[in-house]
Amino acid sequence: MSALCAGRVAFVTGGSRGLGRAICKTLAREGAFVAFNYLKHDEDAAATVAAIEAAGGRASAHKVSVLDKPGLTELAKSLDKLHGKIDILVNNAGYGQVVPLALMEESDWDEMLDTHVKGAFLSTQAVLRTMVREKYGRIVNVGSLAGIKMMQAPVHYATAKAALKGFTESLAKEVGRYGITVNCVAPGILDEGVSDHLPPGRKEEYLRHCAARRVGKLSEAADMIAFIASERASYTNGATLVVDGAV
């Protein structure tokens, strides 16, 4: 069987580290040209590109915030001009922050919601033009189990991830007529990324309820994302797919 994303052009937000890097590598392995943005970590971004190229893939890194509307618009235009299309968008940019509501600053709330939700909105708006024009697109939003189930998770993080589920479902209805699917992949705890910063005992509590009795691997979430981002997932739309080992 051919690669899942052969000939496709993908844009991944927050691709320099963690799950974002895994998504970039997986999409590149599956044949896509991968462009990703990042905010701060130049070396990590370069390492992601290097890893992809070392494996025979193609990628480009772009230092632009997901909250920089003009920057995203320019980036989308340049990718469109270079490749003639953008087939895949993965709204992955985000971060974790463990803080109880009682101590949460307004700025904590705003930054969390902005990065996850407004960032997804701006990135999608920048890329959607080419997808509508081409009558094809795959948008995958990276949610979280914390946005779906009642868990011990920071309120602003859970709120932001839950918002992405609504974003997914509504946008799927809105743009489905143009051959664009919009789905959400909601991982449970993975072995790297935001779980690195969990308080003691939180991971053990998770494992007690997880049928798989282990946390997930980044590659397991990334593989699901690559499939949902492929042509083969053509009838899956507006869905939230949980990758949690059955919690």
Question: Which residues are annotated as catalytic?
Answer: 157
3-state secondary structure 91-154: ECCCCCCCCCHHHCCHHHHHHHHHHHHHHHHHHHHHHHHHHHHHCCEEEEEECCHHHCCCCCCC
Contact between 29 and 55 under an 8 Å Cβ cutoff? The reply is yes
174 sits near other proteins (criterion: CB under 8 A)? yes
- Report the distance separating Cα 16 and Cα 44, nearest Å: 5
83 sits near other proteins (criterion: CB under 8 A)? no
In order of 1, 18, 33, 37, 122, the CA distances from 76 in angstroms are: 30, 23, 14, 11, 11
Among 64, 99, 132, 247, binds other proteins (CB under 8 A): 132
Kindly give the residue spans of alpha helices, DSSP state H, lying in 176-231: 202-209, 218-228
Among 43, 105, 107, 177, binds other proteins (CB under 8 A): 177
Q: At what angle do helices 119-134 and 69-83 cross, to 10 degrees?
A: 30
Nearer to other proteins among residue 195 and residue 237 (C-beta): 237
Question: What letter does residue 233 receive in the DSSP assignment?
Answer: G
Nearer to other proteins among residue 180 and residue 194 (C-beta): 180
173 sits near other proteins (criterion: CB under 8 A)? no
Q: Which stretch binds other proteins (CB under 8 A): 60-68, 93-101, 173-181, 215-223?
A: 173-181
Q: Which stretch binds other proteins (CB under 8 A): 110-118, 123-131, 139-147, 181-189?
A: 123-131
Q: In the bound complex, what is the minimum distance in angstroms from residue 79's beta carbon to other proteins?
A: 14
Q: In the bound complex, what is the minimum distance in angstroms from residue 235's beta carbon to other proteins?
A: 21
Among 63, 129, 149, 217, binds other proteins (CB under 8 A): 129
Nearer to other proteins among residue 53 and residue 174 (C-beta): 174
Among 65, 92, 130, 195, binds other proteins (CB under 8 A): 130
Structure-token match 């909250």, residue found: 67
